[in-house]
Chain A
Amino acid sequence: MKNLVEVQNLKKNYGSKEAVKNISFEIKENEILGLLGPNGSGKTTTIGMMLGLLKPSGGKILINGMQIEENRIEILQKINFISPYIELPKKLTVKQNLIVYCKLYNVLDTKNRIEYLTEKLRLKDLLNRVTGELSSGQKNRVSLAKALINSPTVLFLDEPTASLDPEIGDFVRSFLENYKKEKKISILLASHNMNEVTRLCKTVLMMKDGVIIDKGCPQDLIKKHGRKNLEEVFLKLSRSADEHN
């Protein structure tokens, strides 16, 4: 499998504060990579740089073989992002929001793309509803439809199932698994839900204070650190890094 994403010696400084310190990793085609770490560990900063929202202080990000700093628009055409901290315009209907984003991503077959995604994400009955009036589970699925509107080859997910009930959370996880298998896309998943990460990710990166402190398959990490589950590994690594510091 080829690497769709390559991050090489990535750094981000805010003045004298080093938010991300020389990290390197890659995401293969058809892979979901988990990005774990406590709040303030540098996950959002890393994703921000990969989305072109932040300018790195050093290092390189290659997506589909192109550098984000030099090919920002071309890369943005083929990636997308979902986070509970950003929303779609609340006053527009679901259909209007999806049409707008089809245009912004230059999607040619707007009608079929919206039909396909709304069918897959069970949104057909919500198309003419105002987005702001939907439940958080419904809004989450609309945001997911927006994130897939441009058929991205790389998808960035920041807490994609936060604040969802278990049924909807499971639906979203199953959908992502199937969609990844079907379209062979790469996904970077930042999450605090360790069960979700264990279920979806083949490889996990543990971040703390801007550095990657461990990396591996969830089961291997559990075995390596002699713990029962990924949550315990997460706690052990966070605390040992504290002691180390």
Chain B
Amino acid sequence: MSITRIFGLFLRHFYLITRSFPRILDLIYWPSIQITLWGFISNFFAAHSAYYNNAVGVILTCAILYDFLFRTSIGFNMLFLEEIWSRNFTNLFIAPIKIGEIIISLIFTALIRALIGLIPAILLTSPLFGISILDLGFYLFFLFLSLYIFGITLGILVSAGLLRYGPSFENIAWSTMFLLAPFGCIYYPVEILPEIFQKIAYSLPLVYIFEEARNILINQTVNYQNIVNAFYFNAIYLVIAISLFYYSFGQARKKGTLINIGE
């Protein structure tokens, strides 16, 4: 592993973000709009629902957590798509950078992209809605970490598809999160889902993360098993995603995608 090469690829995206004010604005704009919208919905539910009336910030907190997941995953895909759009893909893959170095660099860059968008949104929630995500306390770190790992796992999986199938896989890149959202039980308890969907939900880390966030905020207790389960499933999916990325790279070299992808 070369830190210089990892830093080099990070620098390429850092320059891109910091050179363009519209890009920074775009990163901040959508999370802020999303959080503001959910803030008002949250206030409405808190006033009209027995389930939420003891925890005003439950929906909003889950919205922030989901947005972090969404931004991390999309951020990772965007970094990969950026190379395709700018026709720089071949230059990147003829540089002596290892696949592991590309993944590590994009993981860090995706985190920074997600935080640029999320921090202003989190800061908005306190003065606007009187809610702080920090109410989750020390456990917030584990929930965020777990979401971050799942976000980059999805990003790696979609990038593996882009690597193997080229830009035609782009639409899948945008829709993955929407496909998984119903099973993630972001805004409702898992019991709402039909039994067969519950089985799918329990095989994803998301349900444990969001169930635990609600548990902490509503019941003021911590179920460590949920946190452990989330990390357990995250580890499995991350290993699968990285293996698939390496496999896709091998397949792309066999099928010639790396040569034609940027053209």
A residues neighboring B (CB under 8 Å):
14, 44-45, 48, 51-55, 73-74, 76-77, 79-81, 83, 85-93, 96, 99-106, 146
Contact = CB atoms under 8 A, between A and B. Distances in A.
Contacts of A54: 253-254, 256, 258-259
Closest 7 CB pairs of A and B: A103-B8, A76-B96, A104-B8, A104-B95, A55-B253, A77-B96, A87-B87
Contacts of B5: 103-104, 106
A210 B85 CA distance: 30
Contacts of A80: 94
B134 interface: no
B225 interface: no
Contact of B91 (A88, A96, A99, A106): A88
B49 interface: no
A190 B93 CA distance: 20
B169 to A, nearest CB: 18
Interface of B is mostly: helix
B11 interface: yes
Nearest to A72: B96
Interface in B82-97: 82, 86-97
Nearest to B11: A100
Given A73-B96, A103-B4, A104-B96, A89 B88 contact: yes
Interface stretch (B13-21, B137-145, B170-178): B13-21
A92 B90 CA distance: 17
B94 A51 contact: yes
Given A53-B259, A54-B256, A85 B16 contact: no
A103 B7 CA distance: 7
Interface of B: 2, 4-5, 7-9, 11-12, 15-16, 19-20, 82, 86-98, 250, 253-256, 258-259, 262-263
B4 A45 contact: no
23 contacts: A48-B258, A48-B259, A51-B94, A53-B90, A53-B93, A53-B94, A54-B253, A54-B258, A79-B94, A81-B91, A83-B90, A87-B87, A96-B15, A100-B11, A100-B12, A101-B91, A103-B4, A103-B5, A103-B8, A103-B9, A104-B8, A104-B9, A104-B97
Nearest to B93: A53
B19 to A, nearest CB: 6
B145 to A, nearest CB: 28
Nearest to A73: B96
B163 to A, nearest CB: 12
Contact of B15 (A52, A55, A92, A105): A92
Given A91-B20, A99-B11, A102-B8, 4 more contacts: A86-B90, A89-B88, A101-B8, A105-B96
Contacts of B16: 89, 91-92
A37 to B, nearest CB: 16
B250 A106 contact: no
Contacts of A103: 4-5, 7-9, 11
Given A44-B259, A55-B253, A85-B262, A92 B94 contact: no
B91 A55 contact: no
Contacts of A99: 11
Nearest to B95: A104
B2 A76 contact: no
B164 to A, nearest CB: 14
Nearest to A99: B11
B254 A55 contact: yes
Nearest to A74: B96
A45 B253 CA distance: 11
Contacts of B86: 87-91
B258 A105 contact: no
A99 B98 CA distance: 19
Contacts of A53: 90, 93-94, 253, 258-259
